[in-house]
Amino acid sequence: MRLFASMRSFACASFLCARYKSLSFVNLQQQNEEQAVKLSRKIVSNVDKSGLSLRLYQYQTCPYCCKVRAVLDYFGFSYEVVEVNPVTRSQINFTDYKKVPIVRTPCYDHPLIESSLIISIL
């Protein structure tokens, strides 16, 4: 089971990095927005060999966010957590989609949305 998960995460990392290399531009505004976001905490796993830099935008009490966190922890991914303000949602201004959870990685220009989609991709 762990071997299959490692192979799947390696395939996802390869796809995302290949997609990143195919981009011929750098979105400076997006980079500035990411730097302005205040991280709530960083989860570091010693078994993470994927090399992915994942950032999870969430509400602490959201059941869908809990589901994504549980999968990330179960498979041993390292990730950063950003608590989204439920009123202003200023932390997720980079997308028109205003629901959480959202997972971003620098290797891919579009955020991963919907908990089931995030889990199936990871």
pLDDT tens readout for residues 23-65: 434 444 444 445 566 777 778 877 777 778 899 999 999 999 9
DSSP state letter for 91: G
Element (H, E) at 16: helix 2-22
pLDDT of res. 71: 94
pLDDT of res. 65: 94
pTM of the model: 0.67
Domains of the chain by start residue, with CATH: 2-121 (3.40.30.10)
